[in-house]
Amino acid sequence: MTNKAKSVGVIGLGSMGMGAAKSCIRAGLDVYGFDLNPKALEELNLAGAKGVSSSALDFAEQLDAVLVLVVNAKQVNSVLFDSGLAAMLKPQTAIMVSATISAEDAKAIHHKLSQHQLLMLDAPVSGGAAKAATGDMTVMASGSLEAFEKLQPVLDATAAKVYNIGEEIGLGATVKIIHQLLAGVHIAAGAEAMALAARANIPLDLMYDVVTNAAGNSWMFENRMKHVVDGDYSPKSMVDIFVKDLNLVADTAKELKFPLPLSSTALNMFLSASNAGFGQEDDSAVIKIFDGINLPGVEK
């Protein structure tokens, strides 16, 4: 029987990581938080963390589990391997890799972790900052029974739904990539609809109200088009994140020789937004690629 994790290190205290870390504290786990942002460290410290640092090496020996909530595979490799962390963790420490990465990257990370006798759960998450804050994320995970068992307390603390996709590393990553196809297309379609409403001089708050009470609604429309109505593009998730994620979708499709007409179009819309200088704004800023319309809070 695997010993269940009692102490967890959370690497990456952005909107998702902070919520997950606080959820683990509420569940009674010993939580250590790691981020380069001193404000994030201070916030988690005040929330009751056992320890915080800009480097996970400071507490490596205290950890039974590590939750990695960074942006991409390069950052995962950086925090686990370039830093020397993997070599310092106790054997059988479970690593929950929750970045959106390709199946190929997930397998490569697993291979390197196993050389240090570390367990890995390929465990992308969804639900945004709000679900992370309440411990209600959706986790789509693949990995060994041992990794699932050891991480059970962390999964219980952070997620409302945990899908076990199978033992093979890379399956979790692939399910998340397919999910991101929908998320990206829904944002792009929502932006197109609201841009058309703006062109037709229909008040956007009215259009938003109609759609969110009718059959054309989606979670992404309801969440992201509210930012457009409010004219607030401060990033919860950035345009450039969807450039990355829809590129992962395209790479997966290319490997499977499978055509994806809608996500290809959505990717081009996000690329246009990034190219126009909106890459670091909220992903709803994809609406700014449309000319000849007036948007709330956006100067022409």
The set of catalytic residues is 176
Q: How many alpha carbons fall within 13 Å on the CB side of residue 164?
A: 12
Exposed/middle/buried for residue 286 (C-beta within 10 Å: 0-12, 13-18, 19+): buried
| Residues in CB range of 168: below 8 A, 6 or more apart | 142
Cα end-to-end span (Å), the chain:
63
CA distance 57 to 17: 18
Are the C-beta atoms of 194 and 204 separated by less than 8 Å?
yes
Amino acid found at 96? M
CA distance 89 to 92: 9
DSSP class of 213: T
User: Which residue matches tokens 């703006």?
Assistant: 198
φ/ψ region of 2 (left if φ > 0, alpha if ψ in -120 to 50, else beta) reads beta
- Report phi then psi at 37, rounded to 5: -90, 110
